[in-house]
Structure 1
Amino acid sequence: MKYNISLFVIFSILFIGCNSFNKKKDKQELAEHFFENYASRKDYKKMLSYYNDSIIYENATQSSGEAVVDPRYLLNDIIRWDDKTMEYKNNKMLEVKELFSNDSVIIANGEFSEYSYNGQKFAPMKFTTYLYLDKNSKIKKQVDWFNYPIEDIIELYQLQQNQQKLKLDK
């Protein structure tokens, strides 16, 4: 009897451990596939399939605050998925240098490729992205940290100052 209980406990521990390992492996594969698709900007429908119907999005560097958005807005207006005037070096939008995942979060560190937009060249830019997953492994929240070039930060600051001035003038 003790032998049967011992075997049951050992097999239970092994089953739980293997199940946990497989979930972690599945999340890592999900993360890899997501960023491969993101980098190539080829399969819009596939990219959309990673997201919930609406998500919380934040560009932390711009202090945009959290906003509930449709993932199509994120892909079309923020990432500019189909904008052919954005030409990336080697047709690759980004490269992930580090990728971490667990049951509920994917974290990627990497660099956006050098690109040109309407003839103007832009330098590579480091990023960190946090993707928070729901129970169905769909992205429910995305937080991006971008290491914008100093010129972009100055321009962003001036834009924000002008917006604040316009609000005060009203």
Structure 2
Amino acid sequence: MSVQIQAEEQRYSRQQIRDLATELLINVGVREQFPTPLEEIIHYLGYTIEEFEPDDDTDRVSGAVNHRQQIIYINHQDAPRRQMFTLAHEIGHVFLHREQEANHIDYRDGAMTPREQEANHFAAELLMPENHFRHTWMTWEGEPELVAATYGVSAEAVRVRADILKLT
């Protein structure tokens, strides 16, 4: 029992997550490709992607991962840029939490647990690596829509990333 509790409480530092995401990008051979080719990363990890058509029970679900079957599910009705971040977020769960959970579902209005924060940070590092992001932010003079176009993410994701990196 204590081993399970320890595993659930394990947290990664921002630097550890940055290093793990960078290592994954290098291993897949996509470090300098933007938007980040997430399908290649998912294939490298041995997972597949399946879109789902939400119903009354799943209309609040953005994505999910089934570690046993190695499938990442993505909401077909979400905007493409939201899907991009959701896929990267689910890759974060695959990479960081695979041993700790059999399945994972991400709700749009879900609680921001430490695992969710870690998956979000991992997603941001995959899609908008810090050093490259800082350079792009300066190049586009902090214009979120232009920066977002570089990475294939939403302007909101860019704003959050810029805030976290203290660029605003």
User: TM-score per shorter chain, which class?
Assistant: under 0.3
Relative contact order, CA 8 A, sep 6+: which one is greater? Answer: 2
Compare the two structures and name the one with the higher strand fraction.
1
Larger fraction in helix = 2
